[in-house]
Amino acid sequence: MLSERQMMILRAVVRDFTNTGVPVGSKALAKQLPIHVSSATIRNEMAALEEQGLIKKTHSSSGRIPSVEGYRYYVDHLVKPDPLQPNDMDVIQSSLGGDFHKIDEIISQSATILSNLTSYTAFTLKPELKDARLSGFRLVPLGRRQVMAILVTDGGDVENQTFDVSEDVKGDQLEAVVRLINDQLVGLTLPEVIKKLQLDIPVQIANYLQSPTGFLDIFGDVLTRAAQERFYVGGRLNLLNFSQDSDVDSLKSLYSLIDQSDDIANVLGQPSDNISVQIGNEMTNDALRNYSLITATYDVDQHGKGMIAILGPTRMPYSRMLGIVGAFREELAKKLLDYYRFYDE
């Protein structure tokens, strides 16, 4: 249990350290704090805080820096999100102000805005109606030997891919395949489709085509791409700003983590209604040991919920970041509601 004064000190330590990156000592705090006590008193309190594992020294006679637990306590009990800078609000509104013709453009743009505002790396996921179902599949012949496969879900997601077919594949064969898929698979959730695709379909499709594997591969490709959570990343390179000292290998593994769409959903964690902060080794993933992740859901009513997140150093200025993330998710939700309102009715 912390006294008022200890909280004040912990708050100041976190503030100072996240701003300057330098361990903070008792003297500096004594000057800075609103109450009037000597540095010796502060030293005593700091010893108590260290006792509880909230702050620590970098070496035996250094100032203190927050431990992961200290950050945790700060984030849970002490921090107050900064109100957004008017300037930042302008940036958001003008960047989101344009005319968009795709949800994905808005979401992808959001990742960029968020990374610019924070100068960290940002992630955005679009609102996901869970259990999206397959609502349509087409094969569109494009020329002598090209066909485009298009898959649509009832959530409005579209996935497509062009591929080459040898010319002896007849148009009516293609149609037969499309009819088969639409008859058998439309209305199912994507995982169900994937399952059926491996069991029932190959047998049936063999009736129409001599070498069916090609088509199934294609359809499978498009399908799995549609099934996996898509996310956008903004400010990838910002990682370089604050990882300078850390070695190349850990940077590389971090980048491959970011580019690997499978893992990212796990990393971001379950959507919750609150803004959540994961600090350093609280995350299971080793590559994130020295980073913090702020995630937040945004809510677009019946169109589902999406997520935004920023990834920065453990010593990020949490109050400012929480302010930005909080404000941004509101703006994004508004924008999306507008967008849906326009195209829906």
Cβ proximity to its own copies: between 20 and 241 the closer is 241
**Which single residue is written with the structure tokens 């591969």?**
217
Which tokens go with 25? 């000592």
- The interface partner of residue 338, options being DNA, its own copies, none and the CB cut-off 5 to 8 Å by kind, is none
- The interface partner of residue 12, options being DNA, its own copies, none and the CB cut-off 5 to 8 Å by kind, is none
Stretch touching DNA by CB under 7 A, among 24-32, 121-129, 146-154, 190-198: 24-32
The count of residues in the chain is 345
Residues between 208 and 267 that touch its own copies (CB under 8 A): 214, 217-218, 237, 240-241, 244, 248, 251-252, 255-256
Buried b (16+ CB within 10 A) or exposed e, 150-185: ebbbebbbebeeebebeeebeeebbeebbebbeebb
Residue 135 near its own copies by CB under 8 A = yes
- The interface partner of residue 43, options being its own copies, DNA, none and the CB cut-off 5 to 8 Å by kind, is DNA
Which tokens go with 160? 């497509």
Residue 170 near its own copies by CB under 8 A = no
Q: Of 160, 189, 281, 285, which lies in the binding site for its own copies, with binding defined by CB under 8 A? A: 160
Which tokens go with 344? 């829906």
**Which single residue is written with the structure tokens 């008022």?**
4
Which tokens go with 298? 């945004």
Task: Provide the strand spans (E) within the chain.
Answer: 55-57, 64-66, 121-128, 134-141, 146-153, 158-164, 231-234, 276-279, 291-299, 305-313
Residue 11 near DNA by CB under 7 A = no
Shortest separation between residue 77's beta carbon and DNA, angstroms:
22
Cβ proximity to its own copies: between 279 and 300 the closer is 300
Residue 24 near DNA by CB under 7 A = yes
Cβ proximity to DNA: between 26 and 319 the closer is 26
Q: How far is CA 256 from CA 172, 264, 288, in A?
A: 43, 10, 12
Cβ proximity to its own copies: between 22 and 142 the closer is 142
Which residues share a beta bridge with 207? none
Residues between 71 and 130 that touch its own copies (CB under 8 A): 99, 101-103
Residue 308 contacts residue 294 (beta carbons within 8 Å): no
Q: Which of 234, 42, 228 is nearest to 153 (CA)?
A: 228
Cβ proximity to DNA: between 39 and 281 the closer is 39
- The interface partner of residue 23, options being its own copies, DNA, none and the CB cut-off 5 to 8 Å by kind, is DNA
| Spatial distance between the Cα atoms of 165 and 211, rounded to a whole number of angstroms | 11
Shortest separation between residue 138's beta carbon and its own copies, angstroms:
7
Residues between 45 and 64 that touch DNA (CB under 7 A): 46-47, 50, 57-64
Residue type for position 304: G
| Spatial distance between the Cα atoms of 58 and 64, rounded to a whole number of angstroms | 7
Residue 345 contacts residue 308 (beta carbons within 8 Å): no
Cβ proximity to its own copies: between 3 and 256 the closer is 256
CA 116, distance to chain mean position in Å, is: 15
Residue 152 near DNA by CB under 7 A = no
Shortest separation between residue 183's beta carbon and its own copies, angstroms:
18
Give the per-residue contact string, 29-48, with DNA (x = CB under 7 A; - = no).
-------xxxxxx-xx-xx-
Q: Which residues bind DNA (CB under 7 A)?
A: 23-28, 36-41, 43-44, 46-47, 50, 57-64
